[in-house]
Structures are given as C-alpha cells and as structure tokens.
Structure 1
Amino acid sequence: MTRDVVRARRDTQFKEIARLLTESGVTAVPVVDDLDRPMGVVSEADLLRKCADQADPTGLAPVPHREAWERAKAEGARAEELMSAPAVCAREDWNVVEAVRLMEAQQVKRLPVVDEADRLLGIVSRGDLLRIFLRRDDAIRDEITADVLRGTLGLAPWEVTVDVHDGRVELGGTVGSEGLIPVVERLCRSVDGVVEVSARLTRRTGDALPEPGAG
C-alpha cells in the first residue's frame, strides 16, 4: 500500500478536492472523519458529475436523467456530499488475494487500508497489486522453500525441488500422500508474485527417505 495518503475531511470544499487530485496526481481521495476513519471516497467521476449535470450551453444535449441520490451528489459542494459511501476498506494484514476479491466484488479501483480501530493507514490500488508480479524469481523460490515447504508443510529440502522462471513455479519430487499434492500447489499459488504452478509430484513409496546428497 501507499502510506503517504492524500485525504479529504468531510467539510473539504469541491475546489479544494479538485486541487488535491490535480496536484497529487491521483484520481480519488478517501474522506475521513475527525478520528481519521474513512467515511467514503471522492473520485474524479464524482466531481465530473457536477459538470455533466449542467445544461448544455448550445441546448443540443439534454440534461441526463438522475436518481435522487445522484442529483444530490451532483449538487453537493463538500466532500461528505460528493463522496461514494460507505468506504470499502481492507485490513493491513490481508493478503493480495483478499484485496483483489473485495475490489472485484465491490467494483472499486482502490481500497483504503485501516488498522484495528478503523483508522486510515494507507491506500492500495490495482496498480499496487499488479506490482507484486514484478517480484524476483529467487525471492519467490526462497519463500516457497522456506515458508511453504519447510515451515508450513514440514517437508525436507531434498523431498521437493523448486524452480521459478518469470513467476512460473515448477515443483518436482515426492510427498507422503497424494492428498498432499493439491495442498502444496494451492499454498504455492498463494505466494506473492506467482503466475502459475506446475507440479510434477508423486506419492512417496516406502518408509525410508534418501539422505541429503545421496546418489
């Protein structure tokens, strides 16, 4: 997330919001209350609604039909009147999958990120989430090996091999049961930066495990 968040207060005026958007190079700002808790979001589209609601000077284009709430927003002059509310927020400990699913479900392009007291910590955009796919292959491989295979699943380093190329993960080796194979794949897919997972894993037969470096 971006931590240095440009924000508006509930009484921030229309022109001040337009200035914030223009000078900061952003397309929307969260609106916060006196405790810095997000109330809603004001976007360029919210501001442009006022312009679109005006009569065409040439008289050629009719004023578009608006629902009552749309007319109220178009006539608004302060942030709390212009914003889309309530604010759709993410928690700071969410993973990328949770954030993306909420964005898709709510059809929003950005999420204010809040702490346990619902105070604004930052904001995450679609671009921020896409940036994880620029993660280096060696960082992805190290996380899968150390955190997923060894830490979570307790697999020995010689049981499963991990190769990563352009975010595509290739797994090879053996595991204790066939039921563990889809678990390994699912956990690897959840690692930031992974594009796809190809698993050539088989169930291990016999009780003895090869010793490290054994031929």
Structure 2
Amino acid sequence: MQHRTVFDVMTHNVVTADPTTSCKEIARLFRENDISAVPVVDEHRRLLGVVSEADLLRATAELPDLEGRWAGVRLLSEERGMPDAETAADLMTSPAVTAQSGWSLVETARTMHRKDVKRLPVSDETGRLVGIVSRSDLLKPFLRRDPAIHDEIKHDVLVDTLRLAPDAIDVSVEEGVVTLTGHVDERADIPVIVRLCRWVDGVVTLHESIDYAYDNLVLDVDQPR
C-alpha cells in the first residue's frame, strides 16, 4: 500500500521566469499558459521567488497588498526615488513558500491553508524546482473510482497488510464513503484498521461497525487462551 505524495499529483512541466524576465513577458506567460503565477529561478533552477498576477497588478495599478498597505512599485518610486518595476526580480515575492517533493498531500494542504496560498512551488532535496502544486491538484485523489478504493482497502490493507481473513471485514464504498462491517478478535485492532483505511487515496470519510471478541484495551482483562 502506497500513499501519494506531492510528486505524484504536481505539474512537472513548470513555466518559469528568470530574474531578468520583463513584466510584459510575464503577463504574456500568464495569458498563453492559462496560469496565475510563475516561479522565478536562477540558472541552476534554484527557486528565487514567485510572481503572481496580484504582484503584477499591484505594481502597475498601485493596489494595496493583502494587509492594506500600499505596495505599488510606482507609488514607492515616487516616494523613494526608485525606478518602476521592469523585471521579475522587481516584482517577485521572496522567499517563496514551497513544498518538498516527498511531502504527503495532507501536509501540503495544511501548508497551503496556513500560508493562505493557492499553489506551491515544489523543490527536491537539493533545492531545485521540480514542479508546482495547486489546490485542484490536491483534489485529484478524490476523483478515484469506488471499485479501486474498495479493492485497495479489501486486499492491500485488510488482507495483505493486516493479515485478516478475507471474510473478516466487509467493505462497501459509495462516492468515496467507506463502510466497514465485520468481526475481529481484539478491540485494539479496530483503530488501526480505521486509520489505515482512511489513508487510502480517494476516501472521503469512513464509517465502521466492527465487533470484537474481547476488549484488550482494558488493562485487567487477560487475552483468552
């Protein structure tokens, strides 16, 4: 049984910019590739930052940033004598929030939620850009068909991993909702079964009605011989 990582769902062929890419070229990249952000990388594909549509609009229209501060580059240029933004280096948000290619989908989703971002550049162990993951990418496992979910739970989890008898637990799956019914010897097995089944890609939620022969979660109860 294998769990998907960011590497499995991310976009591998990433549209990128270098620090000298012009603002006009960035706008063209957005339009021609139907994207809303581009990672900015150096000659070794190390991530330097990210330019989003919001960054470009703030620079050209002098819009306030998310905290209400006026961050338009042209406004800053008037106050500080700075030149207008011309390149990706002038526009990019740096350092960028990133994900690692080996992260789980849950870990990635939590980072997106915590940082309030819609997409994350993905880097390998050397810091090189290897992909980009969006919120919609994280939803791909939920498109998995019910029979595939059923077969993985029934055979890979219950029989191969947990070594349960094939008829011990009955599995039904409908629109990603899993229901487990059956009987096990030990009560302590039930949380393990539930946890492993919840980890299967495509499981929306899980219900269980599993009986047990004896309660080995109670310390003063001996296992029957």
1:28 paired with 2:32, answer no
When residues 125 and 74 of structure 1 are mapped into structure 2, their CA distance, relative to the original with a 3 A threshold, is: farther
Q: Deviations over 1:133-169 (max 9, x none)?
A: 1110111112222332234433232222211110000
Cα distance in 2 for partners of 1:116, 1:25 equals 29
Q: Deviations over 1:100-153 (max 9, x none)?
A: 111111111011122221212211111111222111011111222233223443
Aligned length: 199
Match of 2:146? 137
Alignment of 1:1-215 (within 5 A): 1-53=10-62, 65-66=69-70, 71=76, 75-205=84-214
Cα distance in 2 for partners of 1:42, 1:68 equals 14
RMSD: 2.7
Q: In structure 2, what residue type is equivalent to 1:66? A: W
Unaligned runs of 5+ in 1: 55-63, 209-215
Offset at 1:49? 0.2
Choose 127-136 or 40-49, whichever is displaced more.
127-136
Q: In structure 1, what residue type is equivalent to 2:149? A: I
Aligned sequence identity (%): 49
TM-score between the two structures when normalised by the length of structure 2? 0.78
Cα distance in 1 for partners of 2:164, 2:47 equals 43
Q: Which of the pair has the greater relative contact order for Cα pairs under 8 Å at 6+ separation?
A: 2
When residues 151 and 8 of structure 1 are mapped into structure 2, their CA distance, relative to the original with a 3 A threshold, is: farther
Q: In structure 1, what residue type is equivalent to 2:200? A: V
Unaligned runs of 5+ in 2: 1-9, 215-222
Cα distance in 1 for partners of 2:193, 2:176 equals 16
Q: In structure 2, what residue type is equivalent to 1:154? A: R
Cα distance in 2 for partners of 1:83, 1:153 equals 49
